[in-house]
């Protein structure tokens, strides 16, 4: 069964705690983004390298742990590009990313979990390093999505971190303690 595309505008997570996963982006120091990305990615990599059942969907309309892992890896890839645009261009417009089409085209459910783990570690590391290297004066640089949502580098880091933390909750049912 195909997954119903997520059409929610998740930018509200920049204003208040997520009632599901418990992540409160308003309490996050953006300068900790790199450390928080590495910590979260380590947990994802551990899950993807485990011998558990990663391919079974808990319900026909919910992604498996592997599919969520592929999505998180691809989120890191997209945000590497967005962060670089924000740091090198003035108020860039981000290309639209259809995450649902990416999941289908990338055959998320058929990928090798251990290969995804290797890729995730590399992509999370690259993104974390990029956030660690943001100069003090660049946190307020802006970029925009095609729907008009405007982000600063600081709010992009907070918005980004909610995604893998929320999906950790989707997979494990556990609220994630997001500390570097």
Q: Which residues pair with 142 in a beta bridge?
A: 152
Q: What is the pLDDT of residues 38-75, one digit of tens each?
A: 999 999 999 999 998 999 998 877 899 999 999 999 99
Q: 107: domain CATH number? A: 1.20.120.450
Rounded to two decimals, the pTM is 0.93
Q: What is the pLDDT of residues 106-145, one digit of tens each?
A: 999 999 999 999 999 999 999 999 999 999 999 999 999 9
Tokens representing 22 are 């418990």
Residue 92 in any domain: the answer is yes
Question: Among 47, 30, 40, 59, which Cα is nearest to 131's?
Answer: 30
Are 179 and 36 in contact by the 8 Å Cβ rule? The answer is yes
Q: What is the pLDDT of residues 22-40, one digit of tens each?
A: 999 999 999 999 999 999 9
The C-alpha atoms of residue 174 and residue 12 are separated, in whole angstroms, by 21
* DSSP run (H or E) holding 144: strand 142-144
Residue 23 in any domain: the answer is no
> What does DSSP assign to residue 15?
T
| Helices 33-48, 113-132: inter-axial angle, 10-degree rounding | 170
Tell me which residue range forms the domain holding 145. 38-172
The C-alpha atoms of residue 8 and residue 27 are separated, in whole angstroms, by 23
Q: Give the number of domains in the chain.
A: 1
């Amino acid at each position: 069964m195909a997954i119903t595309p997520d059409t929610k505008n998740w930018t509200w997570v920049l204003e208040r705690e997520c009632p599901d996963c418990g992540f409160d982006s308003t309490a996050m120091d953006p300068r900790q983004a790199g450390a928080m990305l590495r910590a979260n990615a380590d947990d994802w990599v551990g899950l993807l390298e485990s011998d558990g059942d990663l391919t079974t969907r808990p319900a026909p309309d919910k992604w498996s742990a592997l599919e969520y892992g592929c999505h998180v890896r691809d989120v890191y890839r997209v945000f590497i590009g967005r962060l670089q645009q924000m740091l090198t261009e003035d108020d860039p417009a981000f290309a639209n990313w259809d995450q649902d089409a990416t999941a289908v085209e990338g055959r998320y459910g058929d990928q090798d979990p251990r290969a995804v783990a290797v890729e995730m570690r590399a992509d999370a590391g690259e993104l974390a390093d990029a956030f660690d290297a943001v100069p003090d004066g660049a946190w307020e640089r802006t970029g925009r999505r095609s729907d008009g949502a405007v982000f600063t580098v600081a709010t992009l880091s907070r918005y980004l971190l909610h995604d893998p933390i929320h999906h950790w909750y989707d997979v494990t049912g556990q609220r994630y303690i997001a500390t570097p």
